[in-house]
């Protein structure tokens, strides 16, 4: 564990030193972490709490948790009745904003998870791949126009040709209308 925890802060400290040397107060620095791995010797919540403690002592502008499902509960090393994000949020105790992500496709999805109080910000991955104009649609009050699957007959919505959309999504990462 001690050795596992040496590299991340060394990288963060070097990046913060470079920012300070260049007097770039406007340059935000965050850290994205994977909270748990299923393998026997994989990362557990115990490791993640230790990493969070190390990171929260540094001047980061955000922590971002890499998850497939926003609501995923802890597997090992913490209360498995609680979500990973809830637990990490509690652990960092407001030291910096937390970003959550995972299978959120609509404006309501984003609002609902913000209501959990587990995160300060929400990230959207696949939703933005499907709707390259996702933020614009919300800004314009057109939430109803947000697509939740790639419409292969209107591939321009996701900014890539039909063949590429099919290849990119071929691993069942998301629904592709007419292709899956
Ligand atoms: C094609 C693809 C590649 C991804 N690669 C990574 C990766 O290299 N590292 C990582 O932490 N997460 C990776 N993810 C997970 C995403 O960052 C994100 O956590 C996940 O897609 C859930 O959010 P979403 O439902 O909004 O897309 C990947 C997801 C997809 C679909």
How much is the pLDDT for 3? 83
Give CATH for domain 7-124: 3.20.20
Q: Which atom of ligand 1 is nearest to the CA of 174?
A: 31
Cα(68) to centroid(ligand 1), Å: 7
How much is the pLDDT for 126? 93
How much is the pLDDT for 154? 63
Whole-angstrom Cα distance, residue 93 to residue 100? 15
Instruction: Map out the domains of the chain as residue ranges.
Output: 7-124
- Residues forming beta bridges with residue 83, ordered by sequence position: 73
**Using CA positions, which residue lies closest to atom 17 of ligand 1?**
66
Low-confidence stretches of the chain (pLDDT beneath 50): 180
**Using CA positions, which residue lies closest to atom 6 of ligand 1?**
66
How much is the pLDDT for 169? 59
How much is the pLDDT for 73? 98
**Using CA positions, which residue lies closest to atom 13 of ligand 1?**
66
Whole-angstrom Cα distance, residue 87 to residue 35? 11
How much is the pLDDT for 92? 98
Which residues surround ligand 1 with Cβ inside 6 Å? 34, 66-68, 101-104, 124-127, 173
Alpha helices in 105-176 (DSSP H): 107-114, 126-130, 134-139, 162-168
Q: Which atom of ligand 1 is nearest to the CA of 34?
A: 11
How much is the pLDDT for 168? 60
Sign, CA dihedral 147-151-155-158, equals positive
How much is the pLDDT for 175? 63
How much is the pLDDT for 4? 82
CB-CB contact of 60 with 94 (8 Å): no
């Amino acid at each position: 564990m001690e050795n596992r925890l040496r590299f991340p802060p060394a990288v963060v400290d070097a990046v913060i030193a470079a920012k300070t040397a260049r007097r770039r107060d406007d340059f935000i620095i965050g850290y994205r972490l994977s909270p748990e791995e299923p393998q026997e010797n994989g990362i557990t919540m115990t490791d993640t709490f230790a990493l969070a403690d190390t990171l929260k002592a540094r001047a980061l502008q955000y922590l971002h948790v890499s998850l497939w499902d926003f609501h995923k509960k802890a597997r090992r090393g913490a209360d498995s009745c609680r979500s990973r994000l809830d637990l990490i949020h509690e652990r960092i105790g407001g030291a910096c904003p937390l970003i959550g992500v995972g299978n959120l496709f609509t404006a309501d999805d984003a609002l609902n998870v913000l209501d959990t109080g587990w995160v300060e910000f929400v990230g959207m991955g696949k939703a933005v791949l499907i709707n390259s104009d996702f933020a614009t649609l919300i800004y314009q009050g057109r939430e109803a126009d947000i697509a939740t699957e790639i419409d292969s007959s209107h591939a321009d919505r996701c900014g890539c040709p039909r063949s590429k959309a099919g290849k990119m999504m071929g691993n069942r990462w998301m629904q592709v209308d007419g292709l899956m």
